[in-house]
A and B are shown apart, each in its own frame.
Chain A
Amino acid sequence: MTTAQELYRRMYLIRAAEDAIVERYPQNDMKSPMHMSAGAEAIAAAVCLAIGTDSLCLSSYRSHGTYLARTLETDRFFAEMYGKRGGTADGRAGSMHLSAPEHGYLGASAIVASVIPVAAGAAFSLKRQGKSGVVAVFFGDGAIDEGNFWESLNFACARRLPVLFVCEDNGFAVHTPAHVRHGYTSITDIVSRFRISAAETETTNASELHGVTERLLEDMRAHDRPGFVRMQYCRYLEHVGVNEDFSAGYRSRDDAQPFLAADPVATHRQRLLEAGVSEDWIAQLERGIRAQVVRSIELAMAAPCPDESDLFKDVMTHANAYVS
């Protein structure tokens, strides 16, 4: 597969898995607050592919895209959504705390910005062990309001840690727009005053984002320093939940229209065709992914619920001594 095809594979998987969630969520069997990645597929696909398998990543609670782009698997993903055994934490973590350490995906947190220091620590580890690769940490633009972001940025720059800070900017922290929250004009300008490789882009073209990330990684390696990239997207759905909220008042469909017209999945498909990839190849890939998603959902629904004894499992290395 070419890079462009690999990118499409990841984006289509994210879109198909989330479409399946949107369709089935009203059945009330997935009892977990969903923070959907729809609209941001290109960022997860591009960055996860560019950093390579020797790199690690962490993300915010809007983690479906990162998880799927990184792992390409849906069995454990859906089992976790349904709160079942076989999920990433046997149903105890839910949509906001996916993890796949075996794929280098160290986890996700529902506290804004809180994974950023963890990424710095993991990057220190990689550097100490003389390993290649970076730690990519995905966070929304709300996270740049938090102390954890600035403290980690400073610490990573001071110690030249291989952290790639990825700001997925949708213009809102929950429902509050950037101009209400920011006492400055450009986060990228400010970040670039640190000893860091910094970039930003408005495109949602996955191939371009992949290129931006690759160039940034090269610059990071050349200067032995961390990197920061701000990538823009439009969150298609509400902050939490599976519905659109363009009528809620804080934004309009007109605002979103340029992004909707340049939908990263649909436009990438079109570009593949223009580049000579056959409709058959694409359709077969899509069929395979949809079948994978359906099979994973069936497995998840049929899977057993966690045992009662699982309540106290994995809190510490031995059974919880408080409970007797």
Chain B
Amino acid sequence: MRTLTYRDGINEALHEEMATDPSVFVYGIDVGDHKRIFGTTKNLVEDFGEERCFSTPLAEDTLVGFGLGAALTGQRPVNVHMRVDFLLLAMNQLFNMVTTWRYGSGGSLKVPFVIRAIIGRGWGQSYQHSKSLQSMFAHFPGLRVVMPATPADAKGMLKAAIRSDDPVLMIEHRWLYDAEGQVGGADLVAPLEGAAVLRPGTDLTIAATSWMNVEAMHAATILARSGVSCEVVDIRSVAPLDDTTVAMSVAKTGYCIVADTDWVPYGLGAELAARLHNTCFGMLKAPVKRVGCAFTHCPSARPLENNFYPSARHIVREAEALLELPPTDLDGEDFYSYEKKFRGPF
């Protein structure tokens, strides 16, 4: 084990899988330019050649269909999109084609296809460069949707995604790219399914996706000062969704807040709440609460942006209301921002 950033974890996963499996290739808009997708595709062109890592025309829908064709004929393509928002251009290929092809072939064809998409946030990205949209993608059958939060999962889940015979959408939060953590070597492969307990606790369950795990861990630290023991559950895979691990936590704590990077209405929180109401209705001491983006468009101006995005502050306030605690003074608290990035470890 050594310390590695989330960004380098992704890069290492691509290097290792491309080295061991010649059918793996990486393509997409600007994957081969000098910036190399925030460094995640660094040295792939140099090490594997233009045939296996190449920049493409700007044609998102066609690029996803192209990946399907390659996957059906023996390749393991990895298609990268610099913003999740751009995938809205590819909805036809994603959900009329990629997710249906195995079914339509009576199971005789498989679709080993990875799509990486990045959530942009901060420095005035505003409303077309900042969406995460995991609930929408998870609404359709036939697609795995994963959101690694730790550097180890960034590497391990991407490797598992590339080896999977299912189409996998991996949504990466840009603010996690600098996070450092202990990451295994070439033998590291993380399960594509299953939630993980990041911090054990007894009083309140916080189930979080992607970046919201960082905020949840911060909130847990603040709440601990008020004597509240939080259990933070990293959802990891949105589809399929492991509600059992969350339910086991809720059986212990009786309270649950779902902290998601997406908008709240019709979101992961609603799905998880419905499932928890089915599996542990009698054990819940209060209804499941949801924290997510304000239901408006993402603004560019910083003061508005701070109110748009959910943070540790929102989780703390929600927890206090839930547990009927007086509000903690958060005036001196240093919250994460574009300038003050989380660097780990969890």
* Chain A residues at the B interface, C-beta cutoff of 8 Å: 56, 58, 87-90, 92-93, 97, 99, 101-102, 106-107, 109, 111, 114-126, 128-129, 135, 147-148, 151-152, 154-155, 158, 313-317, 320-322
Whether A125 contacts B65 by the Cβ 8 Å rule is no
In the complex with contacts A154-B59, A155-B59, A122-B106 CB distance below 8 A: no
Name which residue of chain B comes closest to A118, CB basis: B69
Quick one: which of A107, A117, A152, A316 contacts B104, CB cutoff 8 A?
A107
The 10 closest A-B pairs by CB, nearest first: A121-B69, A117-B65, A321-B240, A314-B107, A151-B62, A151-B59, A125-B73, A89-B106, A121-B66, A118-B69
B75 at the interface (CB under 8 A from A): yes
Whether B96 contacts A114 by the Cβ 8 Å rule is yes
Task: Give per-residue flags for B19-42: 1 if the beta carbon is below 8 A from chain A beta carbons, else 0.
Answer: 000000100000000000000000
In the complex with contacts A92-B103, A109-B96, A116-B65, A121-B142 CB distance below 8 A: no
Whether B104 contacts A99 by the Cβ 8 Å rule is yes
Given the complex of chains A and B, what is the CA–CA distance between A129 and B25 in angstroms? 13
* Chain B residues at the A interface, C-beta cutoff of 8 Å: 25, 51, 56-57, 59, 61-75, 77, 92-93, 96-97, 101-110, 141-142, 144, 164-166, 193, 239-241
Given the complex of chains A and B, what is the CA–CA distance between A321 and B166 in angstroms? 13
B contact residues around A125 at 8 Å (CB): 69-70, 73-75
- Knowing that A99-B109, A121-B72 touch, tell me 10 more A-B residue pairs with CB under 8 angstroms: A116-B65, A117-B66, A118-B72, A121-B68, A121-B69, A125-B74, A126-B73, A128-B51, A155-B63, A316-B144
A contact residues around B71 at 8 Å (CB): 121
Given the complex of chains A and B, what is the CA–CA distance between A106 and B100 in angstroms? 13
Quick one: which of B92, B105, B165 contacts A101, CB cutoff 8 A?
B105
In the complex with contacts A111-B97, A315-B141, A315-B142, A119-B104 CB distance below 8 A: no
Given the complex of chains A and B, what is the CA–CA distance between A20 and B164 in angstroms? 42
Whether B166 contacts A117 by the Cβ 8 Å rule is no
Quick one: which of A87, A129, A147, A320 contacts B61, CB cutoff 8 A?
A147
Name which residue of chain B comes closest to A111, CB basis: B96
Quick one: which of A92, A122, A147, A314 contacts B70, CB cutoff 8 A?
A122
A contact residues around B141 at 8 Å (CB): 315-316, 320, 322
User: Can you give 27 contacting A-B residue pairs, CB < 8 Å?
Assistant: A89-B103, A90-B106, A106-B69, A114-B97, A117-B65, A117-B69, A118-B68, A120-B62, A121-B67, A121-B69, A121-B70, A121-B71, A121-B75, A122-B70, A123-B69, A124-B66, A124-B70, A124-B75, A125-B73, A135-B69, A147-B59, A151-B61, A158-B57, A314-B103, A314-B106, A321-B193, A321-B241
Name which residue of chain B comes closest to A153, CB basis: B62
A contact residues around B164 at 8 Å (CB): 317
Given the complex of chains A and B, what is the CA–CA distance between A99 and B100 in angstroms? 13
Whether A148 contacts B65 by the Cβ 8 Å rule is yes
In the complex with contacts A56-B73, A109-B97, A121-B77, A155-B109 CB distance below 8 A: no
Whether B106 contacts A152 by the Cβ 8 Å rule is no
A contact residues around B68 at 8 Å (CB): 117-118, 121
Q: How far is the CB of A229 from chain B (nearest CB, A)?
A: 20
Whether A117 contacts B64 by the Cβ 8 Å rule is yes
In the complex with contacts A109-B96, A109-B97, A315-B141, A120-B106 CB distance below 8 A: no
Q: How far is the CB of B269 from chain A (nearest CB, A)?
A: 17
A contact residues around B101 at 8 Å (CB): 107
Name which residue of chain B comes closest to A126, CB basis: B73
Most B C-beta atoms less than 10 A away, residue of A118, A129, A147? A118
Given the complex of chains A and B, what is the CA–CA distance between A122 and B74 in angstroms? 9
A contact residues around B240 at 8 Å (CB): 320-322
Whether B144 contacts A89 by the Cβ 8 Å rule is no
Whether B73 contacts A151 by the Cβ 8 Å rule is no
Whether B65 contacts A114 by the Cβ 8 Å rule is yes
Given the complex of chains A and B, what is the CA–CA distance between A158 and B59 in angstroms? 13
Given the complex of chains A and B, what is the CA–CA distance between A102 and B57 in angstroms? 32
Given the complex of chains A and B, what is the CA–CA distance between A11 and B17 in angstroms? 47
Given the complex of chains A and B, what is the CA–CA distance between A71 and B169 in angstroms? 34
In the complex with contacts A117-B93, A121-B71, A89-B61 CB distance below 8 A: no
Name which residue of chain B comes closest to A108, CB basis: B104
B contact residues around A109 at 8 Å (CB): 96-97
Name which residue of chain A comes closest to B27, CB basis: A124
